[in-house]
Structure 1
Amino acid sequence: MKLTSTLTGRIDGLTDLRARLQILSARHRASLLIAATALFACGSWYAFRSLGLSPLDLDLRALLATVLLMPLSLLYSGLGLVLLSRCVGAKTSLQQATTIASYGTLAEALPVPGGAMVRVGALMAAGASATRSSLLVLMTAVLWIALASLGCGFALWLHQAPASWLLASVGLVGVIMTVSWLARHVGAKLTLLTVGHRFSGLVLIAVRLHFALLCLGLLVPPINTLPFALANIAGSAASIAPAGLGISESLAALVAGSVKVAPAAAFLAVGLDRLACLAASALAVLASLLTRGPSQAPQGDGR
């Protein structure tokens, strides 16, 4: 109860901070986008050069598999919004939620937590209060990062990396805290569904990164891609750069040696996965606009 009270008391402060970030991002959006794009482009060029590859050398079958996984990823994101809606007593169809998820993924391109803002807006539009919506989005985001930390810790433990126990401990604490909070506020059934959803999402990202590495001619077991999944999530959550562009890839390169993967390959794999996700979301948004019209575009996210 003390944790809930503390978080609730800070919602207004977070709302004010969000408004300030929006103003700040409006002033420096171009600079942040240019810097992030430059980091991503230069890093990709250097990574291709380090591996002795060019974009034309990508394995087309693995690239096709990566593309085919994108609709599944969008459905996963839509299901996340469906679960969040049920947590506040509302109902959202999977089709609508999936479209909303696509808008949310593109919203991550803003140098602020755009996806989280869109999720909160979607829940508020469904009738939930700003406080309850913000807390739900915050706690599920913490659960997401905690599970990724646990997975990363396990992968590093298999390679006897010293940081494995620290990551696993932080992840376990985060999982216990968020699961306890969810169980008290949304019930055991929705809590289990939420945990299962987030766990399956972690598996999905690991598989996507497995195929992204296959595009580079590297066969890496999905379990060994979990550190890159955490880097992807952490970079996007930081909101330093639009969609974490360049940040997630750099973090993946830093931890690549722990699972015996070339840093350049890790950088490119995370970047390739990110571009595929953004492209799939953009196509879904375009399809929505063509069928519904801009005036009927939904508000929200379920990533």
Structure 2
Amino acid sequence: MKYLICAFFSLALAAEAKIKVVTTTPDIAEVVRAIGQDQVEVQSLLSGSEDPHFAEARPDYILKVNRADIVCAMGLELEIGWLPKVLGKSGNSTVQEGGPGSCFLGKSVTPLDVPKGIIDRSLGDVHAHGNPHFNLDPLKLAEGAQEVVRVLSVAAPSQAPVFQKNYDTFKKSMTDLHAQVAKNLPKVKVMEYHKEFTYFFSSYGLESAGSLEEKPGMPPSAARMAVAAKMAKEQNVKILLASPSAPHKTLERFQELSGVKVVTVPSYVQNKGQANSIEALQKILGKSFE
């Protein structure tokens, strides 16, 4: 009887164990919490203030991934410079790409800016499968969240209906948020420093005059600045959005040359500060146009 009680207690503890999920960004962490709720324990490797293109394969990242049941990333090569190294060094076979604990939200998203023809480094930081910055479109983020439902359901099949129900609630919240932001957003012509606000512009029907970077990931030359400033004036561009990682002197110079309002805003949810949720970030972006 004593052994039966111990065995039952062990099974009860196992049943209550949470699914350990590691995400690359706080945006994804919020998505996982919304869908997994009390079934998951979630931590993000990045705080939201870093540029996820250029993070490092830090030892603490490797340790967290080693202990994870699931690793969720944006995908579409956003984290290609460092996440494969973290996964490879973690020694955790479950979360390797293609494994049962591997989760790339980009697999469920229809991406923008999919390049055509031959792709090489002379084109800059071009992503072969399309623009990975879909987190700034609530509707696209809801698309990507389908991958979270899938991987959580693999980890806990008995909870699959609950995860699907939670997803339906999350999707509706994203649809409602999109409608709320769209209602107050003026339809002006816009630009961006790097193509990380493209999905935001597209989702809300804002006409974009392109990016200040001539090639993704490469600072614009003086000649490019002059051409872009002239074009912005001629096309009556009202605002250029840039993330905090963009070179400030370059942005100041463009504003001087073009007369276009330049606004620096976060492009990811952040653990600290006002942009601490998907909703808060969307509203900050919307207020940039006031």
Structure holding more helix per residue = 1
- Normalised to the residue count of structure 1, the TM-score between the two structures is 0.25
Higher Rg of the two aligned structures: 2
